[in-house]
Amino acid sequence: MTTTTTERMRQMAKNCGEENSMHDKSAPPSETPERVPVCGTSGLTISRAIWDEAWIVYAKIYGGPPSQHTRLLKEGFYAGELDTFRPGWRPVDQRITDLERRLLETEAERDLAITHDRQPYPTAWAYEQVCKARDQWQQRAEELQRKLSAARKESDDKG
């Protein structure tokens, strides 16, 4: 018994739980979920309202074909994407912890760039590159510090 390519594709789609993948991908899901998964996490979900706000920003930036909407509704956005498309989606305590961690990492990279800045360089170009890196890390650290201060203020206002 031989199977055609289409039959094999249908079987693969069925095995993946996408039985309608060979048909109209823009068809809306049969039911609208109240919670949407956060891609790349184990079990973390967000409310559909937060997801909708992120989708609006995503669609404005990248365009929003119905098939992409359906896929992202099923799979969810990554946490980093949500940070970009819907800032403030995380609970404030979690944002503070994440910002503190990122600030420490950024300050360590900045300090490493400062250490490199103090070394003798064979060319002016090499020295310029180190200075650029140092300045970029300093700017990132300052931005993270501003975000951390704002999150702490928000936490104090709620508490």
Instruction: Give pLDDT tens digits for 61-120.
Output: 988 788 888 888 899 999 888 988 998 888 888 888 888 888 899 888 888 877 776 777
Which position has the higher pLDDT, 145 or 123?
Answer: 145
How many Cβ atoms from other residues are within 10 Å of residue 88's Cβ?
14
Per-chain mean pLDDT for the chain: 77
Q: For 8-23, what is the mean pLDDT?
A: 40
**How many residues appear in the chain?**
159
Going from N- to C-terminal start, the domains of the chain cover: 25-85, 92-158
pTM exceeds 0.85 for this model: no
Which tokens hold the place of 107?
């300050």
| Whether residue 134 has pLDDT greater than 80 | yes
Which distant-in-sequence residues (6+ apart) come within 8 Å of 72 by Cβ?
A: 55, 58
Q: For 115-136, what is the mean pLDDT?
A: 80
| Whether residue 131 has pLDDT greater than 60 | yes
Which position has the higher pLDDT, 95 or 121?
Answer: 95
| Whether residue 48 has pLDDT greater than 70 | yes
